[in-house]
Structure 1
Amino acid sequence: MDTNSVDFEELSSNLSKLILIDVRCREEASQEGQIPGSFCVPATTIKLAADLTQEEFKERYGFDKPSKEAPLVLYCKTGVRSKNAYEQLTALGFTNHRHYSGSLIDWQNNGGDVVKTQFGHMS
């Protein structure tokens, strides 16, 4: 595992110390569930999200826009989109972010809880 990624043990023991971002589309996140406490910011909207004002970001995504130094962990279903999102954030100047390489499948395989969330029309 590279230093840019986290595993189940590290993530589960540090959930309260970081911002967990689900980069799947909202429809997929609603259908399959999310890791508790995570927020959905689809990978396809990351550049747009970075350009939004604080107010626009909170209205669209439902939480405060993180700073470029905020401790972020990204995940998806298998780790492919989270790795891509990690690279996008790096290019945008983020400095304290990592990705969960095993993502939702690994989380569930390790007995992690999943919660169902309903989203509005935006994705």
Structure 2
Amino acid sequence: MFGLLSFSQKGTGQDKISKALSSWNQGTIPYVYFDNLPTNDSIAFLDTREKEEFEVSHLRNAIWVGYKKFDEQLVLETLPDKTQPIIVYCSIGVRSEDIGEKLKDLGYTKILNLYGGIFDWKNKGGQVFNDKEIQTDSVHAFSKHWGKLLHEGIKVY
């Protein structure tokens, strides 16, 4: 399943998210795109944002692992199979690359970074859920600066 994905940036051009990712990321964790996400229920979505961000909005059934308070032991206990397919995400894909690298260091072997993070997800019509697992239009926009990349939904800071 993971081997069949295309990691090219088809049709995205040099938009603002592309520019931000190319300047902040090293490309160490391959991207997966909203338009070609695998539909396998066994994929673990890991939210690498801060807890406040996760509580406002996250992908359905995502597991919060944090960024500044990333807990390696929690991940190892929650996902003991290191061949478990994992998609990491954050606001646009910068923090998630950092956590993806930490997962790789822990021995996980099937890690993808959601291109454009939750912002691109919402911009393209993806559903997000609040801390009660109820669908919401609110999206934590991280900051006024980064929030400019979120074009759909209600921005929460």
Question: Would you say same fold, with TM above 0.5?
Answer: yes
Are residues 113 and 91 of structure 1, via their aligned partners in 2, closer, same or farther at CA, if it must alter by over 3 Å?
same
SS of residue matched to 1:20: strand
Superposed displacement of residue 44, structure 1? 2.7
Q: Distance in 2 between matches of 1:52 and 1:66?
A: 8
More helix by share: 1
Q: Which letter maps to 1:40?
A: W
Q: Distance in 1 between matches of 2:120 and 2:65?
A: 20
Which protein has the larger Cα radius of gyration, Structure 1 or Structure 2?
2
Q: Distance in 2 between matches of 1:49 and 1:71?
A: 17
Figure out how many residues of one structure are paired with residues of the other and give that number: 106
1:5 pairs with 31, 43, 54, which one? Answer: 31
Structure 2 unmatched ranges of 5 or more: 1-7, 9-26, 133-157
- Indicate the structure whose relative CO is greater, using CA pairs within 8 Å and at least 6 residues apart: 1
SS of residue matched to 1:82: helix
1:37 pairs with 44, 61, 67, which one? Answer: 61
| Corresponding residue for residue 109 of structure 2 | 95
| Corresponding residue for residue 15 of structure 2 | none
Per the normalisation by structure 2, the TM-score is: 0.59
Superposed displacement of residue 15, structure 1? 5.3
| Corresponding residue for residue 16 of structure 2 | none
Superposed displacement of residue 39, structure 1? 1.2
| Corresponding residue for residue 83 of structure 1 | 97
Per the normalisation by structure 1, the TM-score is: 0.74
Cα offsets for 1:3-35 (capped at 9, x unmatched): 711000222x4252300011111111112x011
Q: Distance in 2 between matches of 1:52 and 1:9?
A: 27
Are residues 17 and 106 of structure 1, via their aligned partners in 2, closer, same or farther at CA, if it must alter by over 3 Å?
same
1:18 pairs with 40, 43, 56, which one? Answer: 43
SS of residue matched to 2:84: coil
Q: Distance in 1 between matches of 2:117 and 2:76?
A: 29
| Corresponding residue for residue 61 of structure 1 | none
